[in-house]
Amino acid sequence: MAYVGRFAPSPTGPLHFGSLVAALASWMDARQAGGRWLLRMEDLDSPRVIPGAADAILRQLESMGLAWDGPVVYQSARLERYRDALGKLQGQVYPCGCTRKELEDSALAIDGSRIYPGTCRSGLAPGKTARAVRLRTGAEPIRFSDRVQGEMRQSVEREIGDFVLLRADGVFAYQLAVVVDDAAQGVTDVVRGADLLDSTARQILLQRLLGAATPRYLHVPVATSAAGEKLSKQTRAADAGPGEIAAALEFLGMNAPAGLPPGELLPWAVRAWEPTRIPRTRALAAPA
């Protein structure tokens, strides 16, 4: 099948070093495969979207020479698709009336993450009104092979719980939108940051329920500060321009030959891209 990759940033600020790494890895993988590289703005979470950030990201990508194929897709223009997908899941979803406070009080905490205990699975308690819509998950583990991180396995029911597809504020959840869009765009290869590794099993579960193909996955390490903290949108954001590409390549285990003219860096990178050189870890300090 012809390769289709994508980069799907949230326009909550300009690209920082970590998002540049993900963009570059995804772009190199697509270009080396002779495939298409699509761009999708994940702008559903309107409270977090910053006006002008989507355009700023497009300008950053252009200035770095990372050209995308076809029109940019905006999730905010595709609500009908998400509504249709939710409709297809009738019988596998249920309304949840839990308030944020009730969720905090009732959630089973395992390894620091909160697991929905299934309070509303068999119906809303008397006096409760539907707030969110959740997917009824199964205990059978989801397995997948990540091209960098290796063999992965997660029981969504036990490790995540029934997760939200439509939020209490009326926003379609990221997990649903990403699966619907990857399927609609024919994405064969997802290359992204390892902060999304734990979302992958949920997405594969949704793909199966919606009859969509499961793409190949490659999760690059998340860039951290030297102190091991995740880079925020603010950190190094102003620097995530052309000069950062060499640092991003180094982060991915690639060392560009010294003296390479700037215009030859990206063509070299496409030829030299080799995912087995990427450190097999979920987080890694960005080069100083």
Residue ranges binding Zn ion (CB under 5 A): 96, 98, 119-120
**81 versus 158: smaller Cβ distance to Zn ion:** 158
**113 versus 234: smaller Cβ distance to Zn ion:** 113
Instruction: Please return the burial class of 150, using the count of CB atoms within 10 Å of its CB with bins 0-12, 13-18 and 19+.
Output: exposed
**66 versus 164: smaller Cβ distance to Zn ion:** 164
**10 versus 119: smaller Cβ distance to Zn ion:** 119
**121 versus 233: smaller Cβ distance to Zn ion:** 121
Q: Closest separation between CB of residue 132 and Zn ion, Å? A: 7
Q: Closest separation between CB of residue 208 and Zn ion, Å? A: 24
240 vs 21: CA distance, rounded Å: 10
Q: Closest separation between CB of residue 120 and Zn ion, Å? A: 3
Q: Closest separation between CB of residue 102 and Zn ion, Å? A: 7
Q: Closest separation between CB of residue 178 and Zn ion, Å? A: 23
**26 versus 137: smaller Cβ distance to Zn ion:** 137
Q: Closest separation between CB of residue 221 and Zn ion, Å? A: 35
- The one-letter code for the residue type at 245 is I
Q: Closest separation between CB of residue 124 and Zn ion, Å? A: 8
CA 123 from chain centre, in angstroms, equals: 31
**119 versus 224: smaller Cβ distance to Zn ion:** 119
Please, are residues 210 and 179 in contact by the beta-carbon 8 Å criterion? yes
243 vs 235: CA distance, rounded Å: 16
Q: Which of 182, 222, 181, 174 is nearest to 202 (CA)?
A: 174
61 vs 40: CA distance, rounded Å: 13
